[in-house]
Amino acid sequence: MMSRPYNFSAGPAAISEEVLAIAAAEMLDWHGCGMSVMEMSHRGKEFGQIHAQAQADLRTLLAIPEHFHLLFMQGGAWAQNAIVPLNLSRGETVDFVVTGAWSQKSTKEAQKYCRAHIAASSEDTGFTTLPAPATWQLSDRPAYIHLCSNETIHGVEFHELPDLRALGCDAPLVIDFSSHVASRPVDWSRVGLAFAGAQKNLGPAGLTLVVVREDLLDRALPTCPSAFTYQTVAQHGSMFNTPPTYAIYIASLVFQWLLRLGGIKAVEARNTAKARCLYEAIDQSALYTNPVDPACRSRMNIPFHLRDAELQDAFLAGARDRGLLQLKGHKSVGGMRASLYNAMPMEGVLALVEYLRDFEQTHG
Ligand code: PMP
């Protein structure tokens, strides 16, 4: 296969070439059954096999305990901003930790369904820090605490999830882990529910992953749509209605690829090394800056600015010429952003670092 460019998109994002090649080979005829995965009944034995394998492999990969249900849903992570309060809030108070654009959007959306209380916010630092859990102003009896464990736009990541019990709070923790799911292990003892859109680290858009603790299935509001009621989806093994079958199939190939890489610890080590390499190049240069506190820098989404913003178009055009794609930052913060999801190899990061140096030499 011809070598492909390196794609730094924040999502939908690059998928491992190995996975794409398997999907291409199996496109017309999956394992000799005469059908493409797209053409199969979701209730047939062939898709049943793919679905069961995907569930089992993801459970193994992320070491998800038995008392959590693993749901494959639709609607994206955005829809979960409404679906979570419909299922868990009972219309009562929910505490939000606001650390960037995505937790901000979650708070606003949830306000339609519950009382949203902002327990902590890092807006005063331009979302470049994380408020220490000991400083959070939690409500008396929140239905749950919501946070975004990796802010895709601002590039901040909780390297460790908070221990709510140590804060004297027994409410469940809900995390939006869309942009770093499957990039590192998760401490499930600290989590009540985790959700993620698939299109960054798990596969194509269209699939939404929800991992929910068994005891949280009993509290949905009666107005919650059936297809979005966790208990209903769980009781039907994610087959209450037609699931996004092709997206699940590609995700299952991604899970198998991650297991072949050595599992989540090995994947985390790769990601740590990649991020360190890029942050070092940014920090050592006189042209590029990253504003985020090093203690909470994301390993997945690395925003950076050129000190001379006039050079931005030339930077992006030069990057494209070198096969370094989709480096433009989110429009709300400007600048550049390199997303280093699992499918970005170290070679791609080294190619970007080399380009950063060359561009600085000619334009710095
Ligand atoms: N949460 C986070 C952290 C995200 O990065 C995104 C998408 N970029 C969303 C939620 C929204 O996801 P979707 O577009 O899949 O609904």
What pLDDT, in 10s, does the model give residues 147-168?
999 999 999 999 999 999 999 9
Its domain, for residue 285, covers 263-363
Average pLDDT over residues 294-320: 97
pLDDT(1) > 90? no
148 lines ligand 1 (CB under 6 A): yes
C-alpha to C-alpha distance for 259 and 64, rounded to whole angstroms = 14
Angle at 103 between CA 148 and CA 277, to 5 degrees: 50
CATH number of the domain where residue 109 is located: 3.40.640.10
Active-site choice (30, 57, 95, 102)? 102
Average pLDDT over residues 211-240: 98
Place 296 in a pLDDT band, splitting at 50, 70 and 90. Answer: very high
Mean pLDDT of the chain: 97
202 lines ligand 1 (CB under 6 A): no
Among the candidates 260, 289, 306, a domain finishes at: 260
Residue 15 in domain: no
Place 329 in a pLDDT band, splitting at 50, 70 and 90. Answer: very high
Pair 147, 99: CB distance under 8 Å? yes
Q: Quick check: helix, strand or coil at residue 346?
A: helix
Place 3 in a pLDDT band, splitting at 50, 70 and 90. Answer: confident
Average pLDDT over residues 68-72: 98
Beta-carbon count within 10 A of 49 CB: 13
Shared domain for 313 and 164, answered yes or no, is no
Model confidence over 309-323: pLDDT tens digits? 999 999 999 999 999
Beta-carbon count within 10 A of 141 CB: 10
Among the candidates 199, 225, 260, a domain finishes at: 260
Among the candidates 237, 260, 283, a domain finishes at: 260
- The more confidently predicted of residues 1 and 160 is 160
First to last CA, the chain: 37
C-alpha to C-alpha distance for 35 and 288, rounded to whole angstroms = 50
Average pLDDT over residues 207-222: 98
C-alpha to C-alpha distance for 250 and 15, rounded to whole angstroms = 9
Asked whether residue 199 is marked as a ligand-binding residue, the answer is yes
Place 2 in a pLDDT band, splitting at 50, 70 and 90. Answer: low
How far, in Å, are 171, 276, 318, 334 from residue 12 at the CA level?
33, 23, 23, 19
Total domains present in the chain: 2
Question: Is 140 an active-site residue?
Answer: no
Question: Is 45 an active-site residue?
Answer: no
Which backbone phi and psi does 227 adopt, to 5 degrees? -70, -15
Active-site choice (57, 136, 176, 274)? 176
Place 364 in a pLDDT band, splitting at 50, 70 and 90. Answer: confident
Asked whether residue 99 is marked as a ligand-binding residue, the answer is no
Tokens coding 95 = 């505490």
6 - beta bridge partners? Answer: 324
Residue 68 in domain: yes
pLDDT(9) > 60? yes
Q: Quick check: helix, strand or coil at residue 115?
A: strand
By percentage, how much of the chain surpasses pLDDT 70? 99
pLDDT(299) > 90? yes
Shared domain for 182 and 243, answered yes or no, is yes
Per-residue pLDDT at 363: 93
